[in-house]
Structure 1
Amino acid sequence: MLDSQPGALGGQCRDGQRVNGMALKFTVESFINLVRQSRLVDADRLEQLVATLPADGDSQSVADALVAAEALTDWQADKLLKGKHKGFFLGKYRLQSLLGKGGMSSVYLADHVLMRRRCAIKVLPHKKVNDTSYLERFHREAQAVASLDHPNIVRAYDVDREVDGTTEIHFLVMEYVDGADLGSVADRRGRLGVGEACEFIRQAALGLAAAHQLGLVHRDLKPSNLMLTWTTDDRPQVKILDLGLARFAGSEKDEGSLTKTGQMMGTPDYMSPEQAWDTKAVDIRGDIYSLGCTLFRFLVGSPPFQGENPFQTLMVRTTLEAPAARSLDPGIPEDLDSVVTRMLRRDVAERFQDPQEVVEALARFAEPPSRFEVEKTPSVEPATSLTLTDAAEQSTQVVGASLGQFLESVRPSGSVETADMPATGASPVRRYAPVAGVAIAVVVLVTAWRMFSTPGRPQADPPVATVGQPVDPPSVVKYPEQSIDEQQPFEQDLLGPSHPLAGQRQNPNREFRVRPGGPDGVSVDRRGRLKWTPDESQGPGRHTVVVESRPGAAANWQAVAEAVLRVREIDRPPHLESPGRHEIDELQELEIRLAATDPDRPANLIEYTLGNDAPRGMAVDRRTGRLTWTPTEAQGPGEFRVTVRATAYDSEVIDPERQRVESTLVVSVAEVDQPPRLRSIPSLSMRVGQRLRLRVRADDLDDPPGEVRFSLQGQVPAGASINPTTGIFSWAPQKPHARAWRFRIRAASAENDELFNEGLLLLDVRPPRVTSRGEAVPPDADRTAASADVRDVFRPLLSQARTPVARSRLAMDIIEQARETADSARAHALFELAHQTALRARQTAVALEVVRAWRQRFQIDLVGNTLMSFKVLNLKELDSAVRHEISEEALRAFVPAINAGRLAEARQLLGHAVGSIRGDPGEMARLKNASGLLEQISSENTGEAEKPLKLTPKGKIALGGLDKLLKRTRFTPLFRDRAKLSFVQHSGDDLEDLGRSLWVISGGDIRLETPARAGASGFWDKSAPLKNFRLRARLSADTTTGSLLIGGPASGRFDGLQLEFAPSRFCQLYHRGSRMAVSGPKRTPPRSALGWDRLELFVRNSHVIVRLNGQALVDSDVPGVLEGFLGLDARLLPAGQPVARLRLLRVRVRVEQER
């Protein structure tokens, strides 16, 4: 058990005395007995070690000897010297040292007794065992960590408890991580480079993404909770620590018992705004905010908010947006600044929504640093005042903290202060220990401590004098540490005027010597002058020289002076062997190994690098010196002279430049004729009757431009050709060509046709769209046979579509097939199947879309099928755009229902229309008047039910009024007749007929799909100028280009607006005259899961509203002329896209009445 011996220090010690609860003075025998009782050292080994001990030693020297022999650790020895022989084992684990202490727990370095596996053990304090909330939090952490197994998260191995009488000790066994926390790395270096900062945060986001997949939220991410370690091949690896504050998302019930009123959990400098208000409300986006603060700290040197105290910091954070990182360091890339800004948005909806998005956003900036790059940067003095950077590592519970005493019996002197212990000194600031501070100690492990601290154990008190020794020995004068160079003579006078023996220099009997065990070659003369010339093997290193003296040959030697000398390695560059001269061909790999040796010390590390004159693609492994390069065609023929460097470094190197040597590698690259290289050829689809012109491009680095010849290989359909010089492929397929085609395109050298490359153009030629309207429904027998065949074909897809979204997508696909099917019976069966699939998905909007397309082709019962679609209506799940579209479809069937005398069904349809647009006062008023007119028509109808109307004169007047009213609510198709469209001349390469043939336009449906090329195409609908209007349409999600033109003039300069559809400028409004953006979305627009977005545009005077899927993206006054024609424009070379594509469905418009 851990120090479970209340009386161990409580009374008189048999072999020594208690000194203020600190180390005791033991005889050697009693101290060895304590070691035996502790079971830390095997009995046989202990006896062997005891046999080597000097006869005149004491307990301190025995402890030092056992530590030097690695039988004990410093921590174990210190506890034994305090009289404690228990508390070194927890179950099957042997405790090696105390790594750290905090309010919630202590963390120990330990070994598994049998497996010898090194691990870290987090132990709950004794006084917290009876605190239910602390136990819940402790076991919740164990559950959280155990559920994760990811290279970027510290792993958990075991959780257990130890019982000794009435005492319980709960502990968690975790992975031991060898490295340093990034908080200490950042403090030492001030700020980090862009590449390494992004790499560290990218890896942390990977671990966070794994936690997110299991529903975990960390809630205390900060630099000190990110551990930096190194893989076996010296690549950096970041691990997330301290899941002590983690919770499972949605576990608010459990959270209530863990977070008291008036408390906030987290670290103020890195806490998200929402966490400051309500810890239970934090989700993964709060962790993304904390990660953003950490990235800001790495890039800028401080967290994004600076306050006088934690509360001021939190207040600023919850009221202001974080400053842009570039405003503090203009050297930060603009795109990276945008990533940081998005991570630090106060509105959680504006941040990245998933850690994986952060991983992807940082990937192009991340560059894994070498270990040398991380560790060679000089230290930076840490801040000492209680500024924001202090607060970052302070209170995890900012208010109401009441942290338990730590395992009192094992508290080392100098342990950290917690909120339960009064602060010492005169500082007016009370500091609180972090709730999760113990987990930080998991990261700052022994290896990191040894790397950055002074080697050796602290000097213990001098031995107590025994009988027969001088009672007043000379004082030991300890001189400050000095740095000297290897192979350079050094002298130091150890008996200066202030030394107690300064007056005995002339005493002929006074003798001096260097205590045995000192460094080789050091000496002291009879006047106490130290002399030493350290050799190469002694540097770099730290050496302690103790000088002893005695007044005569019969007296005992006594230490009188101590000097600590740090030997620096002389900056001497390594020897780099000449890399020589090499001859290779283009596209042939060169591989050589650079070799360097260090004349000072074989242990020196050698890092290999290349100069700025290295050609593109050449690389060298920094550790092994393996150099590789495969020259491209563009790099040959030619000779390359490359500077190669070798740099020796270790912890003692001060100036790496002085330990760097250079040589020159000469590589001669011979030219090898290579075939032309075809650029990517996009796959396309087109309809019969369209004309395709596609420019195929190829690069030949051996020949000048224009020396490539193009040709079509294999079977080529009639009319298809490619220009041998320009590479323009052209074809206007006819009806017999309606199928998928594979064209083999060859690009050959003009001088040697045996040097060629081939690529494939995949072209799907679809039959012309069926334009017949109002067909009679096919006979029953034909429909039955076609329906059986269609269901058999679609059975696998129907069985796979199990979700509403999947079924809706399948229904939309079936509609497209039905529209293109010439066989009437099969087309009818497809529409019927699509409608049933939409109803199974319980998607009224999709079912009504089927009915609309079905009605365009066949004389179906519009009223009955529309009402059937409304049976699955659930308005709560729909946005306003869908509800308005549903209202339109209800009114579309409303008029035929009245004309057919189906007044009861007309009432149902009108009711659905009214229910769908609640919240729109203008529309509600119109439909309320329509309801009154319907009732008047019903009362004035003298005909039979379900028969055509026979109206009285009053009824006819009411019917006329209803028709006039409905016309004001009705939308009319736009861009429906190609003949009435005015195409505009644009600049471009080889664009024929102003681009007319690129557009497929029918009844308000528009489609453009063409290979990317320079130029643009567009048109105006000049059927009627529009002033105040409302436009609705569906926009395909795969659109890559295009814009809606608003306010086109009858002639002259266009000074209106254009609404962009390209992904990079989606729904931005531009003033065409000034070419300036005048308005646009403030956040990423919502997109539909079905692949089609509902677009709404409202124009009234100079005010414009743009909505997408019911959400307003633009709502503002704009400059420019908004009265005039509407048009479409498409740039045929969209950024980063091989195909220019624009698809709009049901473009329709309604003129609004003047208010």
Structure 2
Amino acid sequence: MTVDKSDVFGLVGRTLADKYEVERFVARGGFGSVYYARHIELDAPVAIKVLMVPDRYEGELRAEFLDGFRLEARTLAALAHPAIARVLDYGSVSIASGETPWMALDWIEGRTLEADLEARPDVGRSPAEALELLRPAFDALSCAHEAGIAHRDIKPANMMLVKARRGEAGLRVLDFGIAKVMEADEQPGSGQTATQTGGSSYSLHYAAPEQLSRARTGPWTDVHALALVLVEMLMGHRAYRSVDTVAIYSDILDRERPTPGRFGVDVGPWEPVLARALSLRPMDRYPNADELLSALESSLSLAEAAWRSSRSRAPSMAAETVPAGARRVTPAERAPQPRPPRARWIIPALAALALPLVALGVRSATRSDAPAPAATARPALALAPPSAPASVEPPTAVVAAPTAVVVAPAPLRAHAEANDIGAFPRRGPRVRSLVGTVASAPRRAAPSPAPRPPAVVPSIVIE
């Protein structure tokens, strides 16, 4: 007999609870494995989910972990929702490392949403189509959240597309085996829960910031993952496309959230809805799946119209005629694009300028107390490169002190606040102002040049 090396529990060919005959290994997840088995008496297929108890869990910690899993099984068994795979039975089996628990669940035939997305790469769905397909998942998680359960590993691989009769859900949410039972009053950053034992399991491409920092997880974590799945369906590819772990960590913690608009997909009023659902801080998101669904539904028609309008504009723009010898003006040239927030090059530049300018400012302030000649102020000039070089006259102008450039670094916290995502330092100081005022003196009335007044050096204040 050939041994399946993926069958780490050695269950293929064994019978559980004298009624489930394990026939084959199916898949492995974060905290266990799934097997295909048959109920001997009923001749019906079932899925057996076996929990992997971490080796470091010994004694009381192991018992606590098993008790929590048993509580989850009981709670999930009470979730009567058509889009949630039912828990049919529960037990434990003896393996080499000791006793480990298992669940028997409905066996569901179909194709995962992950496989469906891979079959149509970079082909996004419309808001109406995407929401209609995901609606059973929203409903299922709303039911779970109302019962005090958070899934914590929502992703396309845990959503099964099935053939459904009229009125039935065409999608099932799988793998509640690592779900978390919440305390009645638990909020982001609050205390111990029924199933918290120090372990964690999540899929990196769909992880929330609090999962990376091992902060408190809950329904707000599912909201974040649901939004990522919806964004993926709208774009036709993952929000985080990198395969490098460090790069994905950086993307997850980036303050610019991965909304459709960031990738050029116009969804109108859905943009701020998804931005809120993907907020870095759990307390800033929708508290549960039901509220996120309500926000999406209330603006669906406008989101659909914006999406269709943007798609219809693309061919018409390509069909515009251009006179011979002329160059087409791109949208980027028609209107200046706003500078992206927190440009990464600006902080090193300010740091390089800060020390010499501060030193010069101190020296200039102590050299003379004489007032500068009156000057007529011109409008403020933004610090942007000119479109063409300008002619320069002899230096007779007086440069007044520009508005101070204030660099205020956010304090680094040794410990995260109760409702924050974890002890992550901010990316860098905030630039409050980068606009100066330029003034010029009146033109010379006499042929002899007037004595040049002392220049007032711009001051940079660092908080």
- Bin the TM-score by the shorter chain: 0.5 to 0.7
- Higher RCO by CA contacts (8 Å cutoff, separation 6 or greater): 2
Matches within 5 A, 1:27-106: 87-88=14-15, 90-102=17-29, 104-106=31-33
User: Measured at CA, do residues 124 and 248 of structure 1 come closer, stay the same or move farther in structure 2, by a change above 3 Å?
Assistant: closer
Any idea what the Cα deviations from partners look like across 1:87-124, whole Å, max 9, x if unmatched? 25552122233222346323222222222332111124
AA at the equivalent of 2:205: D
Q: Quick one: structure 1 residues 128 and 181, their matched pair in 2 at CA, closer, same or farther if it must change by over 3 Å? A: farther
Q: Identify if the C-alpha distance between structure 1 residues 359 and 89 changes in structure 2 by more than 3 Å, giving closer, same or farther.
A: same
1:161 counterpart SS class: strand
1:825-855 deviation digits (Å, cap 9, x = unpaired): xxxxxxxxxxxxxxxxxxxxxxxxxxxxxxx
C-alpha contact 2:153 2:203 (8 A) present in aligned 1? yes
Q: Which residue of 2 aligns with 1:334?
A: 268
Aligned equivalents of 1:257, 1:312: Cα separation in 2? 28
- Inter-partner Cα distance in structure 1 for 2:245 and 2:74: 31
Looking at structure 1, the residues matched to 195 and 75 of structure 2 have their Cα atoms a distance apart, in angstroms, of 18
Distance 2:167 2:135 in 1: 18
* Aligned equivalent of 1:185: 116
Shift of residue 181 of structure 1? 1.5
Cα deviation for residue 209 of structure 1 reads: 0.8
Q: Tell whether 2:252 aligns with 1:317.
A: yes
Q: Using structure 1 for the length normalisation, give the TM-score.
A: 0.23
Whether 2:242 is the aligned partner of 1:242: answer no
For residue 211 of structure 1, report the CA deviation from its aligned partner.
0.8
C-alpha distance 140-329 of structure 1, shift in aligned 2 (>3 A)? farther
Q: Give the letter for the 1:343 counterpart.
A: A
- Structure 2: distance between partners of 1:240 and 1:166: 30
- Which of 42, 47, 54 in structure 2 is aligned with 1:120? 47
Alignment size in residue pairs: 284
- What displacement does 1:236 show? 5.3
Q: Structure 1 residues 204, 219: closer, same or farther in 2, change over 3 A?
A: same
- TM superposition shift of 1:278: 3.0
The CA deviation at 1:234 is 8.8
Counterparts of 1:324 and 1:85 in 2: how far apart (Å)? 44
Contact 2:12 / 2:25 at 8 angstroms: preserved in 1?
no
Which residue of 169, 180, 192 corresponds with 1:253?
A: 192
Pairing 1:361–2:285 present: no
**Runs ≥4 in structure 1, deviation > 4 angstroms?**
125-131, 162-169, 254-257, 364-367
1:182 offset after TM fit, Å? 0.9
CA contact (8 A) 2:136 2:171 kept: yes
Query: In structure 2, what is the Cα distance between the partners aligned to 1:255 and 1:152?
Result: 24
- CA-to-partner distance for each residue in 1:999-1058, whole Å, 9 max, x for gaps? xxxxxxxxxxxxxxxxxxxxxxxxxxxxxxxxxxxxxxxxxxxxxxxxxxxxxxxxxxxx
**Any residues of structure 2 matched to 1:741-760 within 5 Å, and which?**
none
Q: Does 1:351 align with 2:285?
A: yes
Q: CA deviation at 1:163?
A: 5.7
Partners of 1:180 and 1:350 lie apart in 2 by: 34
Q: Give the distance between the partners of 1:149 and 1:124, measured in 2 at CA.
A: 23
1:157 is aligned to 88
Contact 1:196 1:366 in 2 (8 A): no
Deviations 1:508-544 (A, max 9, x none): xxxxxxxxxxxxxxxxxxxxxxxxxxxxxxxxxxxxx
Deviation of the 1:168 alpha carbon: 4.2
C-alpha distance 312-136 of structure 1, shift in aligned 2 (>3 A):
farther
User: Aligned to 1:209, what secondary structure does the other structure show?
Assistant: helix
**TM-score when normalising by structure 2:** 0.53
Q: Give the Cα separation in 2 of the matches to 1:104 and 1:160.
A: 16
Q: Output one character per residue of 1:907-939: Cα deviation in whole Å (capped at 9) or x when no partner.
A: xxxxxxxxxxxxxxxxxxxxxxxxxxxxxxxxx
- Tell me what 2:451 maps to: none
Whole-angstrom CA distance in 2 between matches of 1:161 and 1:249: 24
Contact 1:129 1:170 in 2 (8 A): no
Question: d(CA) in 1 for partners of 2:173 and 2:208?
Answer: 18
Matching residue of 1:287: 222
Distance 1:311 1:245, change over 3 A: farther
Task: Name 1:269's counterpart in structure 2.
Answer: 205
Query: Kindly tell me: are residues 303 and 116 of structure 1, through their superposed partners in 2, closer, same or farther at Cα, counting changes over 3 Å?
Result: same
- 2-structure distance, mates of 1:153, 1:256: 20
Structure 1 residue runs without a partner (length 5+): 1-20, 24-74, 368-1155
Task: Report the alpha carbon displacement of residue 333 of structure 1 after superposing the two structures with TM.
Answer: 2.8
How is 1:823-842 mapped onto 2 (pairs within 5 angstroms)?
none
My pick for the range that moved more, 134-143 or 147-156, is 134-143
Q: Secondary structure at the match of 2:253?
A: helix
Q: Is the 8 A contact 1:129 1:169 kept in 2?
A: no
Matched, 1:230 2:163: yes
Give the alignment partner of residue 200 of structure 1, picking from 98, 112, 133.
Answer: 133
Partner of 1:297: 232
Letter in 2 for 1:193: R
Instruction: After TM superposition, give the deviation of residue 256 of structure 1 in Å.
Output: 8.3
Mapping for residues 179-578 of structure 1, pairs under 5 Å:
179-190=110-121, 191-194=123-126, 195-233=128-166, 237-250=170-183, 252-254=191-193, 258-259=197-198, 265-279=201-215, 281-307=216-242, 309-330=244-265, 332-363=266-297
Partners of 1:118 and 1:221 in 2: CA distance: 25
Structure 1 residues 218 and 167, CA gap change in structure 2 (3 angstroms) = closer
Q: Are the aligned partners of 2:87 and 2:106 in contact in 1 as well (CA < 8 Å)?
A: yes
Bigger strand fraction: 1
Considering only CA atoms, is the larger Rg found in Structure 1 or Structure 2?
A: 1
CA distance in 2, matches of 1:165, 1:344: 42
Q: Which moved more, 1:347-356 or 1:290-299?
A: 347-356
Contact 1:137 1:244 (C-alpha < 8 Å) held by counterparts: no
Distance 1:161 1:148, change over 3 A: same
Aligned counterparts of 1:242 and 1:177: Cα–Cα separation in 2? 12
Partner of 2:381: none
| Residue type at the aligned position of 2:174 | L
- Equivalent residue runs for 1:2-41 within 5 Å: 22=2
Query: Structure 1's 90 and 188: CA in aligned 2 closer, same or farther, altered over 3 A?
Result: farther
Shift, 1:291, TM fit = 0.6
Deviation at 1:302, TM superposition (A): 2.8
Q: 2 CA distance for matches of 1:342 and 1:85? A: 46
CA pair 150-236 structure 1, distance change in 2 beyond 3 A: closer
Alignment match, 2:442? none
1:636-647 correspondence runs (5 A): none
Q: Secondary structure at the match of 1:120?
A: strand
Q: For residue 335 of structure 1, report the CA deviation from its aligned partner.
A: 2.4
Query: Counterparts of 1:102 and 1:284 in 2: how far apart (Å)?
Result: 21
Letter in 2 for 1:271: A
Structure 2 unaligned runs (5+)? 302-463
Instruction: Give the whole-Å Cα distance in 1 for the aligned partners of 2:49 and 2:182.
Output: 24
Change (3 A) 1:181 1:159: same
**Amino acid of the structure 1 residue aligned with 2:24:** S
Structure 1 counterpart of 2:277, which letter?
Answer: M
CA distance in 1, matches of 2:30, 2:86: 22
Aligned residue in 1 for 2:70? 139
Identity of aligned residues (%): 24
SS at match of 1:230: coil
> CA offset at residue 297 of structure 1?
1.2
What RMSD in Å do the two structures reach over aligned CA positions?
3.6
Equivalent-residue separation in structure 1 for 2:57 and 2:211 (angstroms): 28
CA drift at 1:352: 2.1
Partners of 1:339 and 1:127 in 2: CA distance: 38
